[in-house]
Amino acid sequence: MRMIALSPFLLALAPVALPGDTGAPTVADVLTPELLNALQRVSDLTLSPDGRWLLYTVRTTDIAANRSEAAVHLLDTESIDSGSRVVAKGSSPTWLPDSKHFAVVTKEGLTVHALDSAFVLPVAVEKGVSNLHWSPKGDAFSYTQSVKLDDTAADVYADLPESKARVYDDLMVRHWDAWSEGEYSHLFVRPFHTTAQDAEGVASLDLLGEERVHTPLPPFGGGEQMAWSPDGRELCYTARRVPDPETSTNSSLWLVPAAGGEHRDITPGMPGYDQDPVYSPDGKYIAFSSMARAGFEADRARLMLYERANGKIAELLPNFDASPHNVSWTADSQRLFFTVDTQGTTQLFTTTVAAPKATPVTTGRHAISGIQVAPNGRTVYALQTSMERAAEVVAIDVATGRIGMLTDVNGAIFAKLQMPEIDGERFEATDGESILAWIVKPPGFDPNKKYPFILYCQGGPQSMVGQGFSYRWNFHLMAAKGYVIAGVNRRGLPGFGQAWNDEISKDWGGQAMADLLTVADAMQARPYIDKARSAAVGASFGGYTVYWLMGNSGDRFACMISHCGVFNLESMYLATEELFFVNWDLGGPYWTSQETLDRYARFSPHRYVDNWKSPLLVIHGEKDFRVPYDQGLQAFTAAQIKGVPSRLLMFPEEGHWVLKPQNGIVWQREFFGWLDRWCGESDAR
């Protein structure tokens, strides 16, 4: 197998010089919001069972139409130079066991395609199919689909069709960006026939029947939360069967016969998230992810092995102070591969079952995801991302860790761009600990110039500042606009040991804020930073951080931007949906003890509004139910009453994120408009 070249993500650690460059970037050769949204997005990587063929989805955004469309591409790993070809419209491709057919999810349902012909078989299932998996023999497939089990007000009062009322008797009436409409995501099994005639009259079996339970776990769970046994007789899936799901992370792994029958919990007595089952090819084990502490969504994810013969469960890497994700077996069932967030990067690791030890395969400033292990275990295919470049398909040589690039879907755009400079630097915290921050400098950086500065405040709160390529909070784009950025891995982020990760809980306004200010002060003291043109920006917990800094950072910042931030801890507690999150991180309802009440008072940004002076841009989505939009309205109202220059950007159709293409462009224009107004070189400030 021939690879295109050594991964440019590693080469991009140094600034790129274009022919004829004078060192000063121009509008034509730096990233812009329009170019950012023109980038194609690669996802859904899947390897054929025989190891020869790769399928992946390329999504293209149509700004004018305000939508995106996906196409499935095919790549022959034995003939990389021949390039890929589009083989279907749709997404979420999956291989049949024969490696000669694959299925694609479309807006109409499912289609099955043949590699060597124009054969296309529409599979008669209703719309809304997701998380497709084929049985080992290819004679059946499983999928998930929403099933309506509860009557809504519209059903009860059918004679009043113009009423938009909602009626509930329990919590979890909303989740992230959607109201409950009485639907549950269920797991189905359906026999498969290769001709439309044979398939006629075949029905799907809902393995969950009338049960009011979801699989996968909404809203982020996907196909990784269910799997077929190698003999095709049973499925293992993830579900949370608890009376009050809004207060619990207690999901379990359940076994159910493929033909239907009793559902058996194989992780009883394990109170945290248990999920992502992966059968070993020999059928001996089920590997899965498990968090030990109940109610803590950011606990260390342990790699567990369930021994099917006797039901014993053991942690494979008990002394590994990190969280394995994306676990995959080799064909001989002797080795596992997985990804790990570590020191602001995401690397490929491996271990054997016989001699468990987490061994890194890759190094470098990148993020590895979507791993697909070749049958011989010597190559792992994956998606590789960095702060400079969106995801591309790569091949990783396990013996050497060498990464070869297999696709370059955005190469024509990036070939014309000057790249930012990115360095990982360490700063000494107020308690003597070491803080890693990614320092991003503009293309053509000149140390003798003075640049405006952005302190980026991460959300989560437990979410590493790693090598992601965001289409909103894009460091490459910020640098292309002429800013120096510090992305700070403050206290409370994964990738630096579980103790570091834990330090944010019940201390939102404490050491994490001190870490951010430590880096801000150090950066503002550098000769190439114009302290008077400094800004603090962030979303979610990062938005909370901005509100906190508004009242607790003195005159460090010329302006602030908060997206979907928490402003008032007391009102946030009673308006959010997954209460286990605030119960763990804030200590429960504010009225339960004087200690808890004092914590809310000490760490709630709304208590410090009297100190507000910095101009503030508030951004929020009206469909954000995790941090309800009234948090943004409260902050904007406070700023207006205080006479602080402020602006409100509200998206009626967006939730916690901005997903619609044209809204994304508006977001970028308002974001940089605000920054440039207060941190630019114009006298208009």
- Tell me which residues are annotated as active site: 540, 624, 656
| CB burial readout 272-299, b (16+ within 10 A) else e | bbbbbbbbbbeeebbbbbbbeebbbbbb
Nearest to 502 by CA among 299, 214, 281, 260: 299
Q: Please give the structure tokens belonging to residue 117.
A: 């012909």
Residue 137's Cα: distance from chain center in Å? 33
Nearest to 83 by CA among 312, 411, 400: 411
Largest interatomic CA distance in the chain: 75
CA distance 314 to 178: 38
Distances (CA, A) of 594 to 587, 590, 602, 606: 11, 8, 12, 19
Distances (CA, A) of 453 to 123, 301, 473, 551: 54, 35, 15, 19
Alpha helices (runs of H) in 401-540, residue ranges in sequence order: 411-414, 475-480, 498-502, 511-524
CB 37 within 8 Å of CB 390? no
Q: Please give the structure tokens belonging to residue 496.
A: 């630096």
Could you count the other beta carbons within 10 Å of the beta carbon of residue 528?
15
Q: Please give the structure tokens belonging to residue 545.
A: 């951080």
Residue type, 51: G
Nearest to 652 by CA among 639, 663, 641, 644: 663
CB 368 within 8 Å of CB 347? yes
CA distance 94 to 77: 17
Instruction: Assign 374 to helix, strand or coil.
Output: coil
Nearest to 443 by CA among 12, 6, 80: 12
CB 69 within 8 Å of CB 395? no
CA distance 557 to 532: 7
